[in-house]
Structure 1
Amino acid sequence: METIEMIAVGALILALLLLIKVFSLQSRVNAIQSDLEWLKGRAEGQTINRLKPSAPAVSDKPASEQLSLLDERVHHLLAQGDKIKAIKIVRAEQGIGLKEAKDYVENLERG
């Protein structure tokens, strides 16, 4: 293989790796935009179908109020058609298994 061909193959591999990184970053930007939308809605007093910030914060709020924020977030994700992400968030927030989180999300979806 000639030097130019090796450089071209290396450049192609680098371009593919950069493309993968761009897709990953775009996904993160979309999540941040969703979080900002939720924050804007909270600042304006709207609480329906908004996404709470993804970083879990230590709160002095009672468990029932925290649960309602989780429900808001799940409803928002379901409205966006992102049921899998909603299940992942419920698992992380509640510390429950996959089946329980799926049932929780499906109950909110029905109700």
Structure 2
Amino acid sequence: MEAIEMIAVGALILALLLLVKVFSLQSRINAIQDDLEWLKGRAEGQAINRLKPSTADRSDKPASAQMSLLDERVHHLLAQGDKIKAIKLVRVEQGIGLKEAKDYVENLERS
């Protein structure tokens, strides 16, 4: 292999790695935009400390308040047509399986 071919292969590999990084960053930007849209949709006057409450915050709030916040996020995602994102959110927040999360989201969708 000549030196120019090796440089070309190196440049191609570098370009592919950068492309993967760009897609990763775009995914993170989309998630942040979703969170911002959700925050804009919240009723004024409600205090929000974080986008996703930590486990310490969960212990301070009653279960009904936690569920209503989660339900509100799920309804927002469903209104945007992001049912899959809603299911993923429920799985992460509740620590449940795919079937249970899907059933939870579908029950909220019907109500």
Q: How far 1:108 moved relative to its partner?
A: 1.0
Counterpart residue number, 1:58: 56
| Residues 83/56 of structure 1: CA separation in 2 closer, same or farther (3 Å cut) | farther
CA distance in 2, matches of 1:10, 1:97: 43
Counterpart residue number, 1:28: 28
Secondary structure, aligned partner of 2:24: helix
Q: TM-score, normalised by structure 1?
A: 0.81
Alpha-carbon deviations, 1:27-79, whole Å to 9, x = none? Answer: 10111122223334447348xxxxx7135353222110110110011111112
Among all aligned residue pairs of Structure 1 and Structure 2, give the percentage whose two residues are the same amino acid.
84
**Regions of 4+ moved over 6 Å:** none
Q: How far 1:5 moved relative to its partner?
A: 0.9
- Preserved CA contact (<8 Å) 1:35 1:54: no
How many residues end up aligned between the 2 structures? 106
| Residues 33/15 of structure 1: CA separation in 2 closer, same or farther (3 Å cut) | same
Counterpart residue number, 2:5: 5
Counterpart residue number, 1:49: none
Counterpart residue number, 1:76: 76
Q: TM-score, normalised by structure 2?
A: 0.81
Q: How far 1:4 moved relative to its partner?
A: 0.5
Counterpart residue number, 2:101: 101
CA distance in 1, matches of 2:8, 2:53: 42
State the AA in 2 paired with 1:85. K
1:86-97 to 2 correspondences below 5 Å: 86-97=86-97
CA distance in 2, matches of 1:39, 1:80: 14
CA distance in 2, matches of 1:102, 1:87: 6
State the AA in 1 paired with 2:103. D
Tell me, which stretches of 5 or more residues in structure 2 are unaligned?
none
Q: Give the root-mean-square deviation of aligned CA atoms.
A: 2.1
Tell me, which stretches of 5 or more residues in structure 1 are unaligned?
47-51
